[in-house]
Structure 1
Amino acid sequence: MILTDRLILRPARMEDLMDLHTIMSDPRAMRYWSHAAHAGTERTERYLTGMVAAVPEAEEYMVELRAAPGRVVGKAGCWRPDEVGYIFHPDVWGKGYAYEALSAILPRAFARSPDLPAITADVDPRNTASVRLLERLGFELRGRAENTFEVEGVWTDSVFLSLPRARSVSPAASIPG
């Protein structure tokens, strides 16, 4: 578990299903994701099962607000050692929670993999808020590709960003003993 000023970052649990489904079934939250919003809980349950199985190897966390513990408002972290991903419920967008979470997670991801030269991100270029967030964290644009994901019959592009180890943010969290 990681505590920041406003967040609790903790491993995924199967009890998170309904909160995660609330996020992943929301078309606004899933607008720039690599697949469509989840219609039923079965798809979210498969996704969550994979996250739970990856604990403790993954540096991926469920995000709760310290002011309202017990309700998952997002997930953030490295779903692969070298690739970051995150999603938050639209009700908490624009409050700096993604920045706060990733500021705590990215240094840990580098510490966990000492030979990792960089952490990458694959973003839909229309998701300008996400691109700005990553740039604020020190990520640099490394390339673009067309037609990388097909979601409900519509092809989307990708921009690829990279955070070199030397530019990683400093830890902004405490780890309870």
Structure 2
Amino acid sequence: MILTERLILRPARMEDLDDLHRVMSDPRAMRYWSHAAHAGTERTLRYLTGMVASVPEAEEYMVELRAAPGRVIGKAGCWRRDEVGYIFHPDVWGNGYAFEAMATILPRAFARFPDLAAITADCDPRNAASLRLLERLGFVRTGSAENTFEVEGVWTGSVFLSLPRARSAGSTA
């Protein structure tokens, strides 16, 4: 478990199903995700099962508020050792929680994986808030592509970003 000024970051547990489903079933939260909002808990259960199984290998965390522990408001981290992902319930957007979580997690990921030259991100180009967040964290745009994801019959593109180890906050390289 990691404590920041306002957050509790901890590994995923199967008991997180209802809270994670609350996030992943919200169409606003899932608008720029690589698949549609979860209609039922079965899909969220499969997703969570994968998260729990990857705990030893991933630098990915469930996020709770220190002021209201016990309720997951989102998840953040490196879902693969070299690619970030984060999602928060819309009720908590605009409070800087994603930045606080990721600014804590990124240096830990570089420290945990000393051979990692960079951490990447794949962002929907329509997601201006996420692009701003990634750039504020030090990510730089490295390219883009059209028609990388199809969600409910709508194709969208990707903006690719990279955070080289040398640019990472707290990097010792």
Query: Under a length normalisation based on structure 2, what TM-score does the superposition of the two structures give?
Result: 0.98
Q: CA deviation at 1:36?
A: 0.1
1:86-133 CA deviation, whole Å, 9 max, x = no partner?
000000000000000001100010011101110000000000000000
1:16 aligns with 16
Q: Does 1:129 align with 2:129?
A: yes
How far did residue 57 of structure 1 move?
Answer: 1.6
User: What letter matches 1:107 in structure 2?
Assistant: P
* Aligned ranges 1:134-153 → 2 under 5 Å: 134-153=134-153
Pairing 1:100-139 to 2, within 5 Å after superposition: 100-139=100-139
Task: State the 4+ residue runs in structure 1 displaced beyond 6 angstroms.
Answer: none
Unaligned runs of 5+ in 1: 172-177
Give the 3-state SS of the residue equivalent to 1:101 in structure 2.
helix
Residue 69 of structure 1 is matched in structure 2 by: 69
* SS, match of residue 26 in structure 2: coil
CA-atom RMSD in angstroms: 0.8
Number of residues paired by the alignment? 171
Query: Which whole-Å CA distance do the structure 2 matches of 1:91 and 1:24 have between them?
Result: 13
Q: Give 1:38 shift.
A: 0.1
Task: State the 1:169 CA deviation.
Answer: 1.4
1:150 CA drift (Å): 0.3
**Counterpart secondary structure, 1:17:** helix
Residue deviations 1:42-73 (CA, integer Å, cap 9, x gap): 00000000000011221000000000000000
Conserved 8 A contact 1:103-1:170: no
**1:170: Cα distance to partner?**
2.6
Please give the TM-score of this superposition, normalised by the length of structure 1.
0.95
Partner of 2:85: 85
Structure 2: gaps of 5 or more residues = none
Larger RCO, structures 1/2 (Cα 8 Å, 6+ apart): 1
